[in-house]
Every structure is written in structure tokens, then in C-alpha cells.
Structure 1
Amino acid sequence: MTTRPTPTVVLVHGAFADAASWSGVIAELQRDGIPVVAPPNPLRGLASDAAYIASVASQTDGPVVLVGHSYGGAIITVAGTVENVVGLVYVAAYVPEEGESLGEMQGRFPEPALATSLHSATYPAEGPAGTEPAVEFTIEQEAFPTVFAADVPEEVTKVLAVAQRPLAAGAFTEPAAAAAWKTKPSWALVACADHAINPDVQRFGAKRADSTVIEIDGASHAVAVSRPKAVANLIRDAVSATS
């Protein structure tokens, strides 16, 4: 049987976090000699964010396994159409259909606690009339531990809460331009105690994509922080299957 080179794992963080949220997972993968990259996710809009991640993947030598957490799942769904992407891994993530927005997908299910815990602010964005204010969201700091990271030590959540990266509001309504899971194998981790993305939203998307699924009881949305070994094990499965 012909084997391909070991894929490079590209870790895509979601909203309200940054690439450091993958630190424990990165350490696990590096111990196994698996090449890994964790680029910054701009969090400015699905099309532009996916284009950026697609450019990272396409400029990576050899095959790539894209891993998306949370909103990052929507990004890898679109960016994963790049030719050298050989697999997709969804971690407590949205798995949208082509033409579907995150708002539409979430709207099929009861709202999570996140929906009533968002803080809005404005930022300057280029528009037809020049620089116009656009809206972005973070999680209210007092709600952050419960909503995002209930199984993470308090001293860590305090840091994560103040280091959030905001998500542009438009990302919730922008439809996915493609669905790479239709042609690429996928794996999914469902965080069963997630208060940011309803676990049933995660299950629905994973089932629709015919993903190989694992569920982790008691895992919060920050499962990559609280359970890095479990997340890394799923990624290893994807790397092994696509090598």
C-alpha cells in the first residue's frame, strides 16, 4: 500500500480565543513528531477568514489536516476545498452546509447561554463610503467561565476572559460558500457540557457530514484547553487515516 507523507496539522482557533488555546494540543502532537501550525484567525468574516486559512494550507508543503474549533469549524468547511487538504477535524465546532449561515444552523436548536452573554462594541471597517463602524462581540467577562470554560481552572479562565479576541457580528449571518466535508473525510468531537455551541448543533453537523464522532462528557467549549490529550488523540486518528 502506498503511503503519503505525514500531513501537517493546521489548527484554526475560533471566536473569543487565540492560537494559544491550542498550546496543550500542540505539545501532544509535537511529542509524536506530527508537524503542526497554529495560524491566527482574523475573525472578521467567514469568507475572508476562510480565504486566509486556505492560503496557509495551500502554501504548506504536502498534505494538510485542517482542525477547527468553534467558529473555526465553519472556516475549515470552506477553506478545506483546497487541493492538498486531506481531512477535516471539528472540535466543539459548527459544521455548516454550503449556503448556510451559523445563525441559521444554530436557529434549529435551543439557544445556548452564550446568546445572552455577549458584549457588543464597534470597530472601524472599510465600506463603500469609507471607514464605517462595524459591530463585534466578546463574551461578558463575568459570564466567560461558565459559558466558555467551565471545566478549566479559575485562575486560567480569568486570563482567558481578558485575552479574548472578538468576532465580527457579520460572521454569524454570512453563508458558507462551500462544504469541504462533502468530498473530504472528517472527524468530530462533541463537547457534551458546551454552553457556547449547543452540543446538539455539533451532533447535527457531524452526522450530516458523516464524520467519525467522539463525545466527551463534562467537556466545556474550551475542550482543547481542558482535555488536550483527548483532542490530540482524535487529530492523531485523522492524521493516521490520511497518511
Structure 2
Amino acid sequence: MKNIVTALAIATSLAMGHNALAADKPTVVLVHGAFADASSWNGVVNVLEQDGYKVIAAANPLRGVKSDGAAVAALLASVKTPVVLVGHSYGGNVISNAAYGQANVKALVYVSAFAPGTGETVAQLAGKFPGSTLGPTLADPVVLADGGKDLYIQQDKFHDQFAADLSDEQATLMAATQRPVTEAALNEKATTPAWKSIPSWHIYGDADKNIPPQAMAFMAERAHARAVEVIQGASHVVMVSHPESVARMIEKAAVQ
């Protein structure tokens, strides 16, 4: 009986220690981009949670920069701890908008992501440097009731375009479950970006076919990034293919 009580006491102490550790760390909020969903962060979430971080993988509506930013900003306002805000792809534009004026956001992390300046669109930035092959892989737009258009990547082109460093099985599943972005969102001008006042970290792959690596290097330099990591051979979904590297970059931002 004594051994059982001792074991329970040790387990309780460890649990309390883990909870206290998590309480001392910022909350990590992850924002997915176009043609993906919150599950694209699963590998990163696993690493961060094992390291004692509380994580929220937000559902990005993918309807428009301002409206998506407002949705994420509302989530941020509900978090009572400091936040490391992370965006992938188009989600980078969203976090740049959502974090502006949010006092609890201590760091921004751009994962194969856009970091637009005032008045820029992600469509413009994708075409600023050569290398993006996304356009020809898009399916015919889905016309919405309000006249807007939803965009998807053709499923048979998804693997090579979006996730070339994943297995056939992973890419096929992601292609089937991809979430569309509106055409308007990709052409909506950015407002004053939060990276002008909040420090940022950037990580991306040198084999990205959605956003030219040269464009991401340009945006990271312009934002005076605290750290930049380029993963050799990584596709646009670097957080899926290299979750530990992405998690480590987020943790660097968390302990600044």
C-alpha cells in the first residue's frame, strides 16, 4: 500500500510540474493556409505538446484577409497568456493582420508563408519572383452564391505541386481534404502588418512550388527576421514533412 501511495504521489508531482511548466510558457496558436486545414499542424502539435506547450490549431476561414484576421484576432483575445502566433502560406497574411494591436502576441513565425507589406496581395508576392507553378494546377473555380469563387488544386496535381516530399498516401489524403480559398482573398490588399512591430522568425523549404523561395527570403529580410531557416528539399508543406524543425523554430521564438 505504501508503494502505491508513493507512486501516486510521484505521478501527481510530475503532473503538477508539467502543468506549472506549461503555465510559464506562451500559448502557440497555429494558423493554416489555403488548400490545407488545421490537421496539417498535427506533427508540430505533437512535438510542442511533448515539450510542455499549450497549442491551439485555429480554423482559418479562408474567406478574406480582413475577415480571416478578425476571426483569428477574436481567438487571440480569448487567450490569457502570451502568444506565439504561427502562420503557414496564406495564413502568414492572416497572422500579420490578426496580431496587429494584440498586446499578448510576443512573436510571429512564418512557415512557408507570406508576410505582405501594406497594400500588397499574396497573388502579387507569389509572382514577384520566378518559380511559382500554382496557377496551372488550379481547378476550374467553384462559383459561389454571392458571385465569389472558391479555388482548389486539382487532386491529380496536388502531390507534385503542394506536397512533393510527402508519401503518395499522405498527399492523396491531403488533396481530398483540402479546403478552398476564395479568389478574392488571394487578391485582397494587406493592411498594416504586425511584423513591423512584433519580432518574426521564418522557416521554409527550398523546393517550394507555391511561393518562390526567393520571395520568402525577400519577405524575411524585409521583416528583419530574428532567424531564418531554409530546409533543403522541403516542399510547401514543410510543417508536415519536417514537423520537428518547424516546432524547434517556434520554440526559439517562444523563448526570445
Which 10-residue stretch deviates more, 210-219 or 105-114? 105-114
Match of 2:181 in 1: 167
Q: What residue number does 1:95 align with?
A: 115
Letter aligned with residue 176 of structure 2: V
- Between 138-147 and 103-112, report the one with greater CA deviation: 103-112
* Displacement of 1:106: 2.2
Q: Residue 222 of structure 1 corresponds to which residue in structure 2?
A: 237
**Is residue 233 of structure 1 aligned with residue 248 of structure 2?**
yes
Which runs of 5 or more residues in structure 1 are unaligned? Answer: 126-131
C-alpha separation in 2, matches of 1:196 and 1:108: 12
Q: Distance in 1 between matches of 2:99 and 2:75?
A: 11
Shift of 1:136: 1.2
The Cα of 1:62 is off from its aligned counterpart by 1.4
Q: Is the 8 A contact 1:58 1:83 kept in 2?
A: no
**1:205 maps onto 2:219 in alignment:** yes
Structure 2 spans left out of the alignment, 5+ residues: 1-22
| Partner amino acid, structure 1, of 2:240 | V
Maintained 8 Å contact 1:78/1:176: yes
Q: 54, 64, 73: which one pairs with 1:45? A: 64
Alpha-carbon offset, residue 58 of structure 1: 1.2
For residue 103 of structure 1, report the CA deviation from its aligned partner: 1.9
The one of 104, 110, 129 equivalent to 2:130 is: 110
Residue of structure 2 equivalent to 1:136: 150
Report what 1:128 is aligned to: none
Q: Does the CA contact (< 8 Å) of 1:96 and 1:205 recur in 2?
A: yes
SS for the counterpart of 1:119 is coil
Question: Aligned partners of 1:147 and 1:161: how far apart in 2?
Answer: 11
The offset of 1:184, in angstroms, is: 0.5
Q: Give the corresponding residue for 1:129.
A: none
Corresponding letter in the other structure for 1:148: F
What per-residue deviation string (whole Å, max 9, x for no partner) do you get for residues 193-240 of structure 1? Answer: 001111111111111001120110100011111100000000010111
Higher share in strand? 1
The answer (yes or no) to whether the contact 1:5–1:63 under 8 Å persists in 2 is no
1:111 positional shift: 4.8
Alpha carbons 1:122, 1:133 under 8 Å: kept:
no
- Equivalent-residue separation in structure 2 for 1:103 and 1:161 (angstroms): 21
Partner of 1:25, secondary structure, is helix
Cα RMSD (Å) of the superposition? 1.3
Distance (whole Å) between structure 2 residues aligned to residue 186 and residue 76 of structure 1: 11
- 4+ long deviations beyond 6 Å: none
The DSSP-based 3-state class of the residue aligned with 1:176 is coil
Deviation, 1:113, is 1.3
Query: Which residue identity is paired with 2:141?
Result: A
One of 158, 164, 177 as aligned partner of 1:150:
164
Q: Offset of 1:83 from its aligned partner? A: 1.5
Q: Distance in 2 between matches of 1:238 and 1:123?
A: 40
Q: Distance in 1 between matches of 2:122 and 2:78?
A: 28
CA contact (8 A) 2:65 2:93 kept: yes
2:205 alignment partner, one of 179, 191, 214: 191
TM-score under structure 2 length normalisation: 0.88
How much has 1:39 moved relative to structure 2? Answer: 1.2
Name which of structure 1's ranges 92-101 and 19-28 shifts more when overlaid on structure 2: 92-101
* Residue 35 of structure 1, CA deviation: 0.9
Q: CA deviation at 1:133?
A: 2.4
The separation in 2 between residues aligned to 1:235 and 1:27, in whole angstroms, is 13
One-letter amino acid of the structure 2 residue matched with residue 86 of structure 1: K
Describe the SS at the equivalent of 1:235: helix
Q: Which has the higher helix share?
A: 2
Indicate the structure whose relative CO is greater, using CA pairs within 8 Å and at least 6 residues apart.
Answer: 1
